[in-house]
Amino acid sequence: MKNNLYIVVPCYNEEECLDETTKRLTKKLDNLIKGGIIDKKSRIVYIDDGSKDKTWEKIESFKSPVIGIKLSRNRGHQNALLAGLTYAKDHADVIISMDADLQDDIDAIDKMLEKYHKGYEIVYGVRSERKKDSAFKRNTALAFYKLMNKLGAEVVYNSADYRLMSKRAVEELSNFEEVNLFLRGLVPLIGLKSTTVEYPRAERFAGESKYPLKKMIKFAWDGITSFSIKPIRMILWLGVIIFIISLLITLYSLIMKLVGNTVSGWTFIICSIWILGGLQMISLGLVGEYIGKIYAESKKRPRFIIEKIVGE
Ligand code: UDP
Ligand code: MG
């Protein structure tokens, strides 16, 4: 049985990468079709995430097997990816998502398909090494995976959004209706039979990372707060500890009063005011973050809007 494969690629300002990416992906598809592994109706789906450069013009100029989806504006990597997956699930039997910058090793697709044919519904691409990433990016990323797992969100260690999903898996994914989208945490929640495939992470083919430090921190923070309420629980424990300390301090001050030693202690009071005030603000802010999440979810705004589709 041959399968219809759709490769979903979100693109944001990727005009420098797209020619090469298209060349390599088309070649890969051709080989797989020739090998009788996938159906000849297989496609590459580019999602233009509101790029400001010539990305969309480029996508429009490509011929079959490329399909282009233009989002109405920039909605971020995760939403663009979801748009592509949602579209692909109606046409394909098996879907692979990857980045446009060729950092994900295209040859891992063969290994992923092999696993799929063995009956796996989800195959995660796991980076075997990331020597090409800067030490800073590598270390912060690894720390993030560890932290996520400590806080209770199941994230496949060292895997990003390069993965294979069967039609069935993507259909289940589309039942998760959350607006705070963090696919790396959501996909493991689907369950189903899953496995991993290792690949070496390459350097970006061209252009700059679309994830500067600020966006990375936001992404990590969104991931944590969408999947764990442990931060709030930690604040609760902090409150308990401070309360216990306050009992001791009350005792101390009563003793001082009885002894008649009540005038000194200015430093002590100033420190208490600032430390407690700061902790309270942090706590309020943290709780506020979660309320913000509820606010966004309760409005149920659409996660992406498709402006047009070409190449169908
Ligand atoms: N991307 C996107 N929308 C955005 C930012 C990024 O669709 O708002 C795409 C980008 O074009 C690329 C993928 O997401 O295909 C990953 O981005 P990038 O390679 O810049 O991230 P990094 O590999 O540096 O983490
Ligand atoms: Mg990249």
Of residues 247, 219, 267, the one with CA closest to residue 79? 219
| DSSP letter, residue 195 | E
245 C-beta neighbours (distance < 10 Å), count: 10
According to DSSP, the residues that pair with 96 across neighbouring strands are 7, 164
- pLDDT interval class at 92 (50, 70, 90): very high
What is the model's pLDDT at position 10? 96
- pLDDT interval class at 142 (50, 70, 90): confident
Residue 20: both structure tokens together: 């090469």
Pocket residue to mutate for ligand 1, from 55, 101, 130, 208, most atoms within 8 A of Cβ: 101
Residues in the chain: 312
Lowest mean pLDDT among 45-54, 145-154, 290-299: 145-154
How far is the centre of ligand 2, averaged over its atoms, from the C-alpha of 43 (Å)? 21
**Rounded CA gap, 57 and 9, in Å?**
16
Alpha-carbon dihedral sign for residues 56, 58, 59, 61: positive
Percent of the chain with pLDDT over 70: 99
Host H or E run for residue 291: helix 266-299
What does residue 15 show for φ and ψ, rounded to 5 degrees?
-55, -30
Alpha carbons within 13 angstroms on the beta-carbon side of residue 200 total 4
Residue 155: both structure tokens together: 């994230």
pLDDT in tens, 226-240: 888 888 888 889 988
**Rounded CA gap, 140 and 221, in Å?**
13
Q: Classify strands 66-71 and 43-48 as parallel, antiparallel or unpaired.
A: parallel
How far is the centre of ligand 2, averaged over its atoms, from the C-alpha of 162 (Å)? 11
**Alpha carbon of 244 to those of 119, 148, 248: distances in Å?**
55, 30, 7
pLDDT in tens, 18-66: 999 999 999 999 999 998 889 989 999 999 999 999 999 999 999 889 9
What is the model's pLDDT at position 1? 60
Contact 44, 29 (CB under 8 A): yes
Question: Which atom of ligand 1 is nearest the CA belonging to 216?
Answer: 25
pLDDT in tens, 279-289: 898 889 889 98
How far is the centre of ligand 1, averaged over its atoms, from the C-alpha of 293 (Å)? 23
pLDDT in tens, 152-205: 778 888 888 999 999 999 999 999 999 888 898 899 999 899 999 998 888 888
- pLDDT interval class at 133 (50, 70, 90): confident
Pocket residue to mutate for ligand 1, from 51, 99, 162, most atoms within 8 A of Cβ: 99
DSSP line for 157-178: TTEEEEEEEEHHHHHHHTT---
Contact 47, 9 (CB under 8 A): yes
Statement: residue 86 has pLDDT above 70: yes
Statement: residue 221 has pLDDT above 70: yes
Contact 92, 65 (CB under 8 A): no
